[in-house]
Amino acid sequence: MFASLAVYALLALKICAVGAFPAYESLAGLSREELDAVVSSTKWVPPPPPPGPLTDQSSKLVHDAAHPYQPLQPGDQRGPCPALNTLASHGYLPPLNLENSFARFLVYSTFLVNGNPITNLMSIGDKTSLTGQDPPRPATVAGLDTHNNCEGDTSMTRADAYFGDNHSFNETRFQNMVKFSKKYGAGKYNYTVAAQYRKFLIEDSIKHNPQFSLVSPRLFTAFGESVFPINFFIDGRDTSGQLDLDVARSFFQNMTFPPDFHRRNGSISNFGQDYVTDLMPNFKPGYNAHGVNSYVHDPTSATLTQPCVRYVNFVNRNIKQLYPNPTGILKEALKINLQYLYEATVASGDGCTQVFPYGR
Ligand code: HEM
């Protein structure tokens, strides 16, 4: 399943992470002429500006007769994001009321790493030829499953990449979510549970994943996604802030809206994340340096209170590593997408200074 960036931008999401970016491979052995030939043989679709906020942000029925659940067909893909999977199942992209600037920030930071800047297409799952011919390595254009940006360790219902499958629903992890909801939420998932479960997930990965890493930008995603189920998966007519676990399973595992599902009333982003961070005031980004239980602080990573360090490092390190020396339309496409990313960053309230890795 794939869709254009413009369509994705109608939705929304959170922030993302790092992991193992391939090392720069000196234009992957291609000469400058060969490299330009690859890029110029691919259809150029200039990235259109992202859409603005939804005109109607009220609660309304989104599991309607016009958008029934459609089971997976051969060749369809799903990935690590329960919301995008669900929307794909209903062939229906705009309905969860994610706040516009946050949506744009998530989409462009994800797209710049996992999407094809020339064709303007991105897979919500694994790598696919449906996104068109790839730009030269070290760019990967490998979809949201890629363990390098948004996707990362300590997911609530997906295993860490080290254990083999980082994107499929994992019943063991979901049962931990159930256990914590019973212990701290009287059987429902709420902000208190979100904080306790996030703390557990981090401690658990430190103990069991020898390659555990939680640094920017994944750091931001991990803490943000903890509150997303509360903000988006509770029916808009219910203001209790308590997510029923059958409803949670409907999104996380079955990739479908519950019957009669109404979206929330009014747009929102990562409201409630403070509950999660407040439980771990001394937590610092880092990784297991020498196998399990060897967690060390990574001082080069942005912390959760340094959104501009996150922005600058993401552009100057992560994107520059993937696209060390782009030319022609590839360079143009990257510059346009980086501009949209910066505008979203500013619109989100972070007054960062813009950086231009490929010139103005
Ligand atoms: C209203 C919109 C959205 C909601 C409610 C939502 C919700 C979530 C949740 C709850 C998770 C965590 C899954 C888990 O830990 O088991 C997640 C993961 C993810 N989402 Fe979304 N999402 C939304 C939009 C997006 C968008 C627009 C993108 C990118 C274009 C995206 C990309 C991802 C990725 C890459 C992950 C994997 C992160 C990880 O490793 O856990 N999501 N999403």
Whether residue 43 has pLDDT greater than 80: no
Whether residue 21 has pLDDT greater than 70: no
Predicted confidence (pLDDT) per residue in 67-96, tens digit? 999 999 998 999 999 999 999 999 987 679
Over residues 206-223, mean pLDDT: 97
Whether residue 38 has pLDDT greater than 60: no
Confidence of residue 36 (pLDDT cuts 50, 70, 90): low
Which atom of ligand 1 lies nearest, measured to the CA of 166? 40
**170 in ligand 1 pocket by Cβ < 6 Å?**
no
Query: What pLDDT score was predicted for residue 349?
Result: 83
Please give the sequence-ordered ranges of beta strands (E in DSSP) within the chain, or none if there are none.
2-4, 121-123, 188-189, 213-214, 243-244, 286-288, 295-297
Q: What is d(CA 311, CA 314) in angstroms, rounded to the nearest whole number?
A: 5
Over residues 207-226, mean pLDDT: 97
Whether residue 279 has pLDDT greater than 80: yes
Whether residue 161 has pLDDT greater than 90: yes
Alpha carbon of 80 to ligand 1 centroid (Å) = 7
**107 in ligand 1 pocket by Cβ < 6 Å?**
yes
Over residues 35-53, mean pLDDT: 73
**158 in ligand 1 pocket by Cβ < 6 Å?**
yes
Nearest CA, atom 33, ligand 1 = 81
Structural domain includes residue 191: yes
Over residues 215-238, mean pLDDT: 97
**82 in ligand 1 pocket by Cβ < 6 Å?**
yes
Q: What is d(CA 285, CA 305) in angstroms, rounded to the nearest whole number?
A: 11
Alpha carbon of 312 to ligand 1 centroid (Å) = 22
Asked if 163 and 170 touch (Cβ cutoff 8 Å), the reply is no
- Other Cβ atoms within 10 Å of 236 Cβ, number: 18
CATH of the domain at 283: 1.10.489.10
Structural domain includes residue 166: yes
* Dihedral over Cα of 236, 240, 242, 245: its sign: negative
Query: What pLDDT score was predicted for residue 115?
Result: 97
**156 in ligand 1 pocket by Cβ < 6 Å?**
yes
Q: What is d(CA 248, CA 245) in angstroms, rounded to the nearest whole number?
A: 5
Which atom of ligand 1 lies nearest, measured to the CA of 169? 16
Query: What pLDDT score was predicted for residue 40?
Result: 54
* Dihedral over Cα of 23, 28, 33, 35: its sign: negative
Number of domains in the chain: 1
Structural domain includes residue 203: no
* Dihedral over Cα of 91, 92, 98, 101: its sign: positive
* Dihedral over Cα of 319, 322, 328, 330: its sign: negative
Over residues 330-339, mean pLDDT: 97
The average confidence (pLDDT) of the chain is 89
Alpha carbon of 214 to ligand 1 centroid (Å) = 16
Rounded to the nearest 10°, the torsion over CA 110, 115, 117, 120 is: -100
Nearest CA, atom 20, ligand 1 = 81
Asked if 97 and 264 touch (Cβ cutoff 8 Å), the reply is yes
**155 in ligand 1 pocket by Cβ < 6 Å?**
yes
Structural domain includes residue 55: no
Structural domain includes residue 189: yes
**81 in ligand 1 pocket by Cβ < 6 Å?**
yes
**96 in ligand 1 pocket by Cβ < 6 Å?**
yes
The residue ranking higher by pLDDT, 131 or 45, is 131
> Domain limits at 173?
155-197+214-297
Predicted confidence (pLDDT) per residue in 233-258, tens digit? 999 999 999 999 999 999 999 999 99
Asked if 336 and 44 touch (Cβ cutoff 8 Å), the reply is no
Alpha carbon of 83 to ligand 1 centroid (Å) = 6
| Start-to-end CA span in the chain (Å) | 34
Alpha carbon of 118 to ligand 1 centroid (Å) = 24
Which atom of ligand 1 lies nearest, measured to the CA of 222? 41
Respond yes or no on whether the N-terminal peptide bond of residue 281 is cis (omega within 30° of 0).
no
**177 in ligand 1 pocket by Cβ < 6 Å?**
no
Structural domain includes residue 240: yes
- Other Cβ atoms within 10 Å of 6 Cβ, number: 16
31-35, 102-106, 226-230: lowest mean pLDDT where? 31-35
Structural domain includes residue 308: no
The residue ranking higher by pLDDT, 118 or 350, is 118
Confidence of residue 350 (pLDDT cuts 50, 70, 90): confident
Predicted confidence (pLDDT) per residue in 310-326, tens digit? 999 999 999 999 999 99
Structural domain includes residue 116: no
Which atom of ligand 1 lies nearest, measured to the CA of 153? 40
Query: What pLDDT score was predicted for residue 7?
Result: 33
Whether residue 143 has pLDDT greater than 70: yes
Confidence of residue 5 (pLDDT cuts 50, 70, 90): very low
Phi-psi region at 322: left, alpha or beta (left = phi > 0; alpha = psi -120 to 50): alpha
